[in-house]
Amino acid sequence: MTPFMRPTTTAAARSETDLNGNVFFEAWTTPDGVPPFDRITPEQIRHAYARALAEHEEEIAAIVANPAPPTFDNTIGALEQSGRALDHVDNVFHVLVGAHSNDALLEIEREFSPQLARHYNAIAANAALFERIDVLMRQVDTLGLNAEQKRVLERYHTESRRAGAGLDAPARARLAEIIERLALLGTTFSQNVLADEQAFTLELKDEAELAGLPDFMREALKAEARERGREGYVVTLSRSSVEPFLQFSERRDLREKVFRGFISRGDKGGPTDNKAIIAEMVRLRAERASLLGYADFAHYRLDDAMAKTPAAARSLLETVWAHARRRALADRDAMQTLVAAEGGNFKLEPWDWRYYAEKRRRQTCNFDEAAIKPYLSLDRMIEAAFYTAERLFGLTFVPRRDVPTWHPDVRVWQVRGSDGREVGLFFGDYFARSSKRSGAWMTAIRDQEKLAGNIKPLIVNVCNFAKGADGEPTLLSFIDARTLFHEFGHALHGLLSSVTYPKIAGTNVATDFVELPSQLYEHWLERPEVLRRFARHYRTGEPMPEELLERVLAARNFDNGFSTVEYVASAIVDLEFHSLASPPELAAAADSDAFEKDALARLAMPGEIAMRHRPPHFAHIFSGGGYAGAYYSYMWSEVLDADAFAAFEETGDIFDPATAKRLLDTIYAAGGSQDPAEAYKAFRGRLPSAHALLRKRGFIEAAAANEPT
């Protein structure tokens, strides 16, 4: 196995002392070239980062200094081959700092996040390098390039232009300062949220405090207590702990305490308060957009997305908002009536919603979340996700116990295609722990490519499910199971990638397209064909009773007004923040709490529902820029996924081989090799309309004519 980082004879930071004992500078003999996680130390990461940054700088300098006229190979091909050592270190580090962190790793994150931002921006904004790329772009139709090479060239040209490579030197210098500062602010933001999450625990000690909590919830909270070396039961601010507690706890005072702890992350007025960070980030992003000639950051961000304009994104959100708010208000009134019927003399509050929604669901749908969890064990749901991938794409998954991992709970599978050849490795890190950031995500230790050989991907899913008690399986809610399918859809996007160039591999697609493979995959969980096979009682092995299965599926749109309102409100507030441009507008964002309140008032947000992500802990948009100005993307992609699954339904077979083959070729395997709108049309033959989404969410009964969104 080749070294993770190749030795060179160039100058920067390459003493024999640096090489000795650092696993990043060794030839690895681990299976599939997986990092030897048990031997990696924070100090090794620090040294590896320093060396890899210096090496990448030298590689870029050599490309720029090449006296030969620019060609695809000596410029774009060389760029694709550069920075590999840095990619390797960065990928490993981000798995560790997200899924199994400690103080030393958090310190490294604070140290290197601005350096990395500065480094990558310097490359993208390099005027001399852009000249070479621009020459090629102007000659693109005469260079004899294939479609994939043209797309890679276009992406480099677009990214350099959007980084300011065509601006004058002072403007480029200011952009570099902004980007570096934003990186540091984003890191600080995420670490503040993590600190607030780690600082909160609610200990439950007697039956009165446990009232209403089903057995599976009690066992999960007992496991949380053991994780922290405590007696009794512990509620944390992990979403997988908070939401079921709010759903089942009969103690209204404790529900309020947990809810307020959850929504006040990053908003406590002390050293972990994020409001000043938000104000500065919004101002800097607006300045960045202005320097690049855009009206505001939202216009800058969406110009390179499928939606193209904030108006298009907002139009979709507002269309859905009207339907969702109307449904949510009707549900609110029904729950307020239920409160009164029980003798409650109080107005429904946000910490009451899930509790009374669960009661109402039992009444109206004859559906009890606690009744279905015994049929949704984690292992069974993993099997269901794998089975779906086998039926659609011919994949098989074989457990591997010889592969290094970063935590004993991490599981690994070797993935093989229908021809028996290895596709890659899949890592599943499913359980919540104090060293892990909240939420769920997919990432890669190594991306697929063919440029440097037939490189197989190493793909990771991270979740935060409450671990079952010793000897007991982990039981999932239906939402948890949907999350598992969602993240596995992302994983398949990485595993099934089949392109030559890293630039367009796997999930390297537009933000408002990247959720299509993941959200589409959720549909198979909700099909009777899958649930009948895998929803089995964890003790008896008996399948979920048909009558219960029917109730589960009938209730899947229950409370959709609430879930849609909490999401859409977050997406619209994101657009509001990133549509600010003038000094008076930006001054209004100095107090993000007030800005949030005003924005929600304009929406006529029901007071009984909180945003899914309040600004002070809205990591999607302020912990880095992944979804800044683009949180609408989940809804945009849902328009696509609802219409895409209809393609299978129209055949009468949800595993239709021809449709699955087309989906594989045009979406999952294609990466970013095509404009997203063209990729979707290659699969479906046309663009979708929002009616498929409204029908999926139960807001309308039938779809109207298919009109482009």
Rounded distance, CA 286 to CA 294, Å? 9
| Closest CA relative to residue 248, chosen from 277, 280, 278, 209 | 209
Residue 700 has what pLDDT? Answer: 82
The phi and psi torsions of 222 (rounded to 5 degrees) equal -65, -40
Where would I find the beta strands (DSSP E) of 481-626? none
Are 64 and 133 contained in the same domain? yes
Q: Is residue 475 part of a domain?
A: yes
Rounded distance, CA 679 to CA 663, Å? 10
Residue 692 has what pLDDT? Answer: 83
Are 65 and 38 contained in the same domain? yes
Are 179 and 208 contained in the same domain? no
In SS3 terms, 612-631 reads as CCCHHHCHHHHCCCCCCCCC
Are 188 and 225 contained in the same domain? no
In SS3 terms, 314-357 reads as HHHHHHHHHHHHHHHHHHHHHHHHHHHHCCCCCCCCHHHHHHHH
What's the angle, vertex CA 21, arms to CA 20 and CA 26, rounded to 5? 85
Domain holding 164: CATH number? 1.10.1370.40
**228 pLDDT tier (thresholds 50, 70, 90):** confident
CB crowding 295-311: b at 16 or more within 10 Å, else e: ebbbbbbbbebbbeebe
Q: Which of 57, 109, 180, 487 is catalytic?
A: 487
The tens digit of pLDDT for each residue in 14-39 reads 444 355 689 999 888 999 999 999 99
Q: Is residue 37 part of a domain?
A: yes
Are 417 and 385 contained in the same domain? yes
For the chain, the 3-state helix, strand and coil shares in percent, each to the nearest 5, are 60, 5, 35
- 333 touches 513 (CB < 8 A): no
Catalytic (active site) residue 487:
yes
Residue 426 has what pLDDT? Answer: 98
How is residue 306 annotated by DSSP? S
Token pair recorded at residue 272: 């972990």
Are 166 and 221 contained in the same domain? no
User: Is residue 6 over pLDDT 60?
Assistant: no
Number of domains in the chain: 3
Residue 271 has what pLDDT? Answer: 96
Q: Is residue 665 part of a domain?
A: no
525 burial (CB, 10 Å; 0-12 / 13-18 / 19+) is buried
Residue 498 has what pLDDT? Answer: 98
Rounded distance, CA 612 to CA 642, Å? 22
Token pair recorded at residue 378: 């984690």
The tens digit of pLDDT for each residue in 160-173 reads 999 999 999 999 99
Are 112 and 207 contained in the same domain? no
Query: Which residues, in sequence order, are CB contacts of 234 under 8 Å at separation 6+?
Result: 201, 202, 203, 204, 221, 224, 225, 228
Segment 308-335 mean pLDDT: 96
- 130 touches 70 (CB < 8 A): no
Query: Which residues, in sequence order, are CB contacts of 141 under 8 Å at separation 6+?
Result: none
Per DSSP, the three-state class of 590 is: coil
Rounded distance, CA 273 to CA 259, Å? 18
Q: Is residue 563 part of a domain?
A: no
Q: Is residue 86 part of a domain?
A: yes
**5 pLDDT tier (thresholds 50, 70, 90):** very low
Residue 701 has what pLDDT? Answer: 63
Residue 19 has what pLDDT? Answer: 55
Segment 582-610 mean pLDDT: 95
Are 173 and 238 contained in the same domain? no
Domain containing 422: what range?
373-512
Taking CB atoms within 8 Å and a gap of at least 24, the contacts of 541-549 are: 543/375, 544/372, 544/375, 548/371, 548/372, 548/375
Rounded distance, CA 331 to CA 603, Å? 18
Total-model pTM: 0.88
Rounded distance, CA 511 to CA 637, Å? 9
Final residue of a structural domain among 512, 546, 580: 512
- 49 touches 92 (CB < 8 A): no
| Closest CA relative to residue 610, chosen from 304, 262, 143 | 262
In SS3 terms, 227-247 reads as HCCCCCEEECCCHHHHHHHHH
Segment 141-147 mean pLDDT: 97
Rounded distance, CA 18 to CA 26, Å? 12
Are 140 and 211 contained in the same domain? no
| Cβ-based neighbour number of residue 455 at 10 Å | 16
- Residue bearing tokens 């997406």: 571
- Residue bearing tokens 């948009």: 621
Segment 504-508 mean pLDDT: 97
Q: Is residue 181 part of a domain?
A: yes
Q: Is residue 596 part of a domain?
A: no
Are 88 and 179 contained in the same domain? yes
Where would I find the beta strands (DSSP E) of 380-451? 396-399, 411-416, 422-431, 441-446
Rounded distance, CA 207 to CA 140, Å? 72
Token pair recorded at residue 435: 């060293």
Rounded distance, CA 343 to CA 358, Å? 18
What is the rounded radius of gyration, in angstroms, for the C-alpha atoms of the chain?
Answer: 25
Rounded distance, CA 226 to CA 179, Å? 42
Question: Identity (one letter) of the amino acid at 348?
Answer: L
Final residue of a structural domain among 486, 512, 538: 512
| Cβ-based neighbour number of residue 199 at 10 Å | 12
Rounded distance, CA 375 to CA 546, Å? 12
Beta-bridge mates of residue 223: none
**404 pLDDT tier (thresholds 50, 70, 90):** very high
Task: Flag the least confident range among 15-24, 153-162, 205-214, 572-581.
Answer: 15-24
Residue 627 has what pLDDT? Answer: 93
Q: Is 469 left (phi over 0), alpha (psi -120 to 50) or beta?
A: beta
CB crowding 215-227: b at 16 or more within 10 Å, else e: ebbebbbbbbbeb
| Closest CA relative to residue 42, chosen from 111, 109, 105 | 105
| Closest CA relative to residue 85, chosen from 149, 12, 177 | 12
Final residue of a structural domain among 263, 282, 315: 263
User: Average pLDDT over the chain, rounded to whole?
Assistant: 93
Are 134 and 232 contained in the same domain? no
How is residue 449 annotated by DSSP? B
Query: Which residues, in sequence order, are CB contacts of 311 under 8 Å at separation 6+?
Result: none
Per DSSP, the three-state class of 589 is: coil
Are 31 and 108 contained in the same domain? yes
Strand pairing class (422-431; 458-465):
parallel
How is residue 18 annotated by DSSP? H
Residue 16 has what pLDDT? Answer: 40
How is residue 172 annotated by DSSP? H
- 379 touches 473 (CB < 8 A): yes
Q: Is residue 257 part of a domain?
A: yes
Beta-bridge mates of residue 455: 449
